[in-house]
Amino acid sequence: MSETSASTEPSLQQVREQIVALLPRLRRFGRAITRHPADADDLVQISIERALSRYQQWRPEAPFHSWMFGIMRNAWIDEARARGRQGKVLAPEEAGFDVPDHASEAQLRLLSVQKALATLPEEQRLAVALVLVEGLSYKEAAEALAVPIGTLTSRLARGREALQKQLE
């Protein structure tokens, strides 16, 4: 192996450090995908395990967060298919969003946004979560979702419009 190719391969330590720095965003995206905190934590764990076992597939010249969000999306698809075969419900509707009596106005607003986001169709929810919540560029989000930029733009526009209507 030449020096140049050795320097472009990521080390396990580099990937671990990137994962630690990305954890809050992974958890947030996990909640947007699953609509349930416990399922989100499970999805984050599965995604991290996959990333660590395949860390050599990440190319340091590519954005790490896009790679991780793509892993998370694929893990969610796998999990949803498996659960569908088992006939299980991912999160009962009765679980809803619990609002404590002492919640501040900002907390209530955040909960209403989370609830509105959870009602979007999955394609729109993921586009909104990656671009508006996580701040990915359209190109990065399209790559993470494995769709053309035009498709992402369309999903994002429909998601924004639906969110605005629900939050009015």
| 166 pLDDT above the threshold of 60 | yes
**pTM summary value:** 0.59
Q: Quick one: average pLDDT of 60-81?
A: 89
Which residue intervals of the chain bear CATH 1.10.10.10? 101-168
Residue 56 contacts residue 10 (beta carbons within 8 Å): yes
Q: Quick one: average pLDDT of 131-149?
A: 90
Lookup: tokens for 107: 């907390």
Lookup: tokens for 92: 């009962």
Please report, rounded to a whole number, the percentage of residues in the chain having pLDDT higher than 70. Answer: 80
**Whole-number Å distance between alpha carbons of 152 and 1:** 39
pLDDT computed for residue 69 by the predictor? 93
The count of C-alpha atoms lying within 13 angstroms of the C-alpha of 88, restricted to the half-sphere facing its C-beta, is 9
Which residue intervals of the chain bear CATH 1.10.1740.10? 7-92
**DSSP per-residue codes, 108-139:** HHHHHHHHHHHHS-HHHHHHHIIIIIS---HH
Residue 7 contacts residue 13 (beta carbons within 8 Å): no
Residue 49 CA, chain-centre distance (Å), reads 15
pLDDT computed for residue 62 by the predictor? 85
Render pLDDT for 97-125 as a digit per residue (tens, 0 to 9).
554 555 577 776 767 777 888 888 989 99
| 127 pLDDT above the threshold of 50 | yes
**DSSP per-residue codes, 101-113:** TT--HHHHHHHHH
**What CATH number should be reported for the domain whose range is 7-92?**
1.10.1740.10
Among 39-48, 76-85, 131-140, which range has the highest average pLDDT? 39-48
What type of residue sits at position 68?
M
Lookup: tokens for 148: 């053309």
The topology (CATH level 3) of 101-168 is: Arc Repressor Mutant, subunit A (1.10.10)
**Whole-number Å distance between alpha carbons of 94 and 132:** 28
Render pLDDT for 3-58 as a digit per residue (tens, 0 to 9).
444 457 788 898 999 999 999 999 999 998 888 888 999 999 999 999 999 999 88
Nearest CA among 45, 46, 47 for reference residue 69: 47
Phi, psi of 24 (to 5 degrees): -60, -40
- Spatial CB neighbours of 125, under 8 Å, sequence gap ≥ 6: 32, 33, 117, 118, 159
